[in-house]
Amino acid sequence: MRAIVAHTENQPARLTEKDEPEPGAGDVLIDVSYSSVNFKDAMALTGAGIVRRWPVTLGIDVVGTVAESSSNRFAVGDRVTLNGAGAGETIDGGYAERARVSSQSLVHIPEEISLSRAAAIGTAGFTAAIAVLALADHGVVPNSGDVLVTGAAGGVGSVAINLLARRGYRVVASTGRAAEQGVFLTALGASEVVDRAQFSEPINRPLQSEQWGGAVDSIGSHTLANVLAQTRYGGTVVSNGMAQGIDLPVTVLPFILRGITLHGANSVDAPRELRERAWAMLADELDLNALDALTTTIGLDDTFEAADAILKGHVRGRTVVQIS
Ligand SMILES: NC(=O)c1ccc[n+]([C@@H]2O[C@H](COP(=O)([O-])OP(=O)(O)OC[C@H]3O[C@@H](n4cnc5c(N)ncnc54)[C@H](OP(=O)(O)O)[C@@H]3O)[C@@H](O)[C@H]2O)c1
């Protein structure tokens, strides 16, 4: 079968022919219809980290139909998706015509969502859903104040904006592409679009004026430090990414003087209950027409070019890869 495989550490992956998955690799065999290109896939495709076993088929999202199953949770023909759980890192992922995976983290795709839309949601949309659920679980409600979404035009950011706006939050979108993507972000549900430059420099004061009832941050580093320093008393910030960096140059003052919470979102190791809760929420609440508007579909051959564009920050929203 055709597959994109990383063969060697620190080397770009290659589109190649490979054998069908080994039976021992998991209890469910999937005919893969779609995968997607996330920031993490882009890094793996170019050989910039992520992969922890070689050779491995890349693609952290697997979307398709069950072809064989020895799990009592899944039957032949079921529509399923796997997001993370080691796919494309330590186990073979979705950039191949078939994938054999463990049923442990596999979920049924809700019937409202087509296979291609499930891939458009992918890890990025799933992570956005986890983040929005976390804000609500921590008591951030629509009248808690504005919610900031950083990396707004990216995959996690764009889905998060739509989910938050549909729940009634007033969403402020932070982007480096306000002129180019402002209309798009407003159409997704952002009430205001701001320039990300205001968050990207080292914090000048450990406590700044209180602006955000909550935030979903894909950026890390100085951006997250500034967001924490501007979060209102009792607010929650969800950290899910590191587009600016993995460091966090912040003080304890926002925590001990404003009682704020920093919540980490991890899609890779999310337990099955959280996966099912997030997918149910996506089916109920995401505007699927808006999802279509933020999605571009490509073939396996175009995946490398898409990876370069993501790493350069040129991609808007989500990129689906049609596998078969
Ligand atoms: N925790 C998890 O489980 C999990 C899951 C998915 C993703 N992630 C992480 O979350 C982040 C976003 O993922 P994604 O798939 O949404 O990626 P993406 O589609 O590439 O979006 C990232 C966005 O971040 C902004 N950005 C890029 N470089 C930046 C910089 N140097 N400074 C400030 N902003 C910058 C850009 O938004 P604008 O153009 O709008 O400024 C870009 O579109 C990545 O770090 C990814 O690894 C984590």
Per residue in 205-241, pLDDT (tens digit) is 999 999 999 999 999 999 999 999 999 999 999 999 9
Residue 48 pLDDT = 86
Which residue from 123, 126, 156 has its CB within 8 A of the most atoms of ligand 1, so it is best to mutate? 156
Give DSSP secondary structure letters for 259-289: --EEEE--STT--HHHHHHHHHHHHHHS-HH
Per residue in 94-114, pLDDT (tens digit) is 999 999 999 999 999 999 999
Provide the residue type at 218 as one letter: S
Q: Which atom of ligand 1 is nearest to the CA of 177?
A: 39
115 pLDDT more than 90: yes
Residue 239 pLDDT = 98
Per residue in 162-209, pLDDT (tens digit) is 999 999 999 999 999 999 999 999 999 999 999 999 999 999 999 999
Of the candidates 63, 62, 51, 61, the one whose C-alpha atom is nearest the C-alpha of residue 14 is 51
Integer CA distances (angstroms), 192 to 67, 178, 187, 259, in order: 46, 10, 11, 26
Q: How far is the CA of 230 from the centre of ligand 1 (A)?
A: 21
What residue has token string 């968050």?
199
Protein residue whose Cα sits closest to atom 19 of ligand 1: 154
Residues with CB under 6 A from ligand 1: 38-40, 123-124, 127, 151-157, 175-177, 196, 200, 218-219, 223, 240-244, 265-268, 310, 313, 315
Integer CA distances (angstroms), 73 to 69, 70, 107, 274, in order: 9, 9, 9, 17
Residue 105 pLDDT = 94
3.40.50.720, 1.20.58.100, 3.40.50.2300, 3.30.460.10: CATH of 124-264: 3.40.50.720
Q: How far is the CA of 261 from the centre of ligand 1 (A)?
A: 21
161 pLDDT more than 90: yes
Residue 219 pLDDT = 98
Q: Which of 3-12, 218-227, 247-256 has the lowest mean pLDDT?
A: 3-12
Protein residue whose Cα sits closest to atom 14 of ligand 1: 155
What is the fold, at CATH topology level, of the domain defined by 2-108+294-322? Quinone Oxidoreductase; Chain A, domain 1 (3.90.180)
Per residue in 257-290, pLDDT (tens digit) is 999 999 999 999 999 999 999 999 999 999 999 9
Protein residue whose Cα sits closest to atom 31 of ligand 1: 244
Q: How far is the CA of 313 from the centre of ligand 1 (A)?
A: 8
Which residue from 159, 218, 294, 320 has its CB within 8 A of the most atoms of ligand 1, so it is best to mutate? 218
Q: Which atom of ligand 1 is nearest to the CA of 318?
A: 19
Judged by DSSP in three states, 29 sits in strand
Residue 50 pLDDT = 86
Kindly state the average pLDDT of the residues 251-258: 98
Confidence of residue 25 (pLDDT cuts 50, 70, 90): confident
- The domain spans of the chain are 2-108+294-322, 124-264
Per residue in 44-87, pLDDT (tens digit) is 999 888 889 999 999 999 999 999 999 999 999 999 999 999 99
Residue 22 pLDDT = 85
Round the average pLDDT of the chain to a whole number and report it.
Answer: 96
Of the candidates 61, 4, 55, 2, the one whose C-alpha atom is nearest the C-alpha of residue 37 is 61
Of the candidates 159, 193, 160, the one whose C-alpha atom is nearest the C-alpha of residue 178 is 193
The total number of residues written for the chain in this structure: 324
